[in-house]
Amino acid sequence: MKFLVPLVATVFLGVSLSAYPQQKSEKKGANADARAMRDLAEANMAEVEAGKVAAQKAQSEEVKKFAQHMVDDHGKMLQEVQQLAQSKGVDLPKSPSKKHQAAMKKLESASGEQFDKAYMSEMVKDHRETVKKVEKIAKSSKDAEVKSAAQKALPDIKEHLQMAQDLSGKTGGASKGSSSQGSSSKSSSSQDSSAKGSSSSK
């Protein structure tokens, strides 16, 4: 009997120690999923707030429509994240990150065409970052519901990015600049060819 007590204690300790790495891993996964939900909530809140401002201040009707679309879509996504977080007992932030708040202040100081350019440029940047985050969550989340939520949101966010890139070009983004460079190079090449033609005719 004297030998049995230490033996039982040793077995119990061994089982406890062997379970510890698994518990630590599960806790780490749960923390990562909680952080993912907080990131998604912050991103959605930022898009909703920026969209509300742009729906009022934008000069272009296309930009206004896009802004309202962001308010509607990201508003729904935010509600879904909030419901999911509540079911998991995860507390979400009440406002966007300080980074997004600083971008909002800068945005609110702009007006007219400058506002449209600034807003659409911010939308391209934000949605690129969000696509990367959501792709990572959809791939590596340990929680099936969090993974499913990310997979569900990803196609819409990618669509938003494409829309933002298209509109950014129309409001004076890089794509517009590159097309104008292309047209100027075409005109210069046509001038060169006409000059060569006139010289050869002489």
Q: Is residue 68 part of a domain?
A: yes
Amino acid occupying residue 163:
M
**pLDDT tens profile 70-96:** 999 999 999 999 999 999 999 999 988
Q: Is residue 188 part of a domain?
A: no
Q: Is residue 14 part of a domain?
A: no
- Residues 6+ away with beta carbon under 8 Å from 156: 73, 77
DSSP-based three-state secondary structure for 104: helix
What's the whole-model pTM score? 0.70
Q: Is residue 114 part of a domain?
A: yes
**Domain housing 88:** 30-174
3-state SS of 10-59 is: HHHHHHHHHHHHHHHHHHHHHHHHHHHHHHHHHHHHHHHHHHHHHHHHCC
Whether the per-residue pLDDT at 200 is higher than 90: the answer is no
The CATH number for 73's domain is 1.20.1260.10
Q: Looking at the 3D structure of the chain, how many domains does it have? A: 1
